[in-house]
Amino acid sequence: MATTKELPGLPVEERCLVMGVVNVTPDSFSDGGQWFDSHRAIEHGLRMVEEGADIVDVGGESTQPGAQRVPADEELRRVLPVVTELARQGVAVSVDTMRAEVAAASVDAGAVLVNDVSGGLADPEMARLVAASGVSYVLMHWRGHSHDMQKRAVYTDVVQEVHDELSRRMAVVVDQGVDPGQIVIDPGLGFAKSPDRGHNWALLAHMDRLADLGRPVLIAGSRKRFLGRLLSDAEGSPRAFTDCDDATVAMTALAAFHGAWGVRVHDVRPNADAVRVARAWRTGGADLVHGRADAPRARGGQ
């Protein structure tokens, strides 16, 4: 599975890219609304770049299991100031949205990637917006909105079914004008995937099967429930989300080693370290200069 495929507006590295998450929401499962204030969210995004993020993913709507949707005007109010300022400072910005209206405004504000967890299913205008704008597009495997998605986590062969459903969605958006070269695929870890039935682990173990689709693969498992379930205590209580960062780093290193194009993470610095270790290990250090990997960028892309 190739890690280096050029995508519109995005960095190109020989290693796996690191996408840092900025949730501009009051109810994020992973960070409890720490970055709901736009000024704090901007500072957090800039700090992520200093710590090694190649892309900063800005979202204004929670997609945790059970979450209810927010109105489009509220989502825009949350994300636009953050997208605008980060882009102004030279950051490669992704907008995490299922709405074409929000994606369009964010692209106008400087976003270079639309990260659509619905794969175009939530808004029939999304594919046309992506096609017209020419930006990069994360197409994720999705079976429904957060309030009932876990009821849809029913599979006979989760790897084959996710593969086939992604393939069909790709065909649909390409038919609507999206260039295949704009697309990154995401198996949708945690979205209509049961942490009790091993769905997420099966997809990670068979990342190579997704290579049949011919597009770069984004792995977005940071702090998700299946990690907490894996690390449950003796009484069976899952580990807290924010106590799963070490497990996330382990997953990042393995995903990068096995050819993921990118990883989406909350705690950037250790994951940025992990992708560099994975690259050096995978290549036997062949592309190091005096033993050094590429260094994180300075603030504002300088």
Please list the active-site residues: 224, 264
The string of DSSP codes covering the chain is --S----TTS---SS-EEEEEEE-SS--TTTTTTT-SHHHHHHHHHHHHHHT-SEEEEE-S--STTPPP--HHHHHHHHHHHHHHHHHTT--EEEE-S-HHHHHHHHHTT--EEEETTTTSS-TTHHHHHHHH--EEEEE---S-TTTGGGG---SSHHHHHHHHHHHHHHHHHHTT--GGGEEEE--TTSS--TTTTHHHHHHHTHHHHGGG-S-BEE--TT-HHHHHHT--TT-PPPPGGG-HHHHHHHHHHHHHTT-SEEEESSHHHHHHHHHHHHHHHHTTTT-BTTB-PPPPPGGG-
Which one, of 3, 147, 141, lies nearest residue 61 by Cα? 147
Distance of CA 297 to the CA centre of its chain: 20
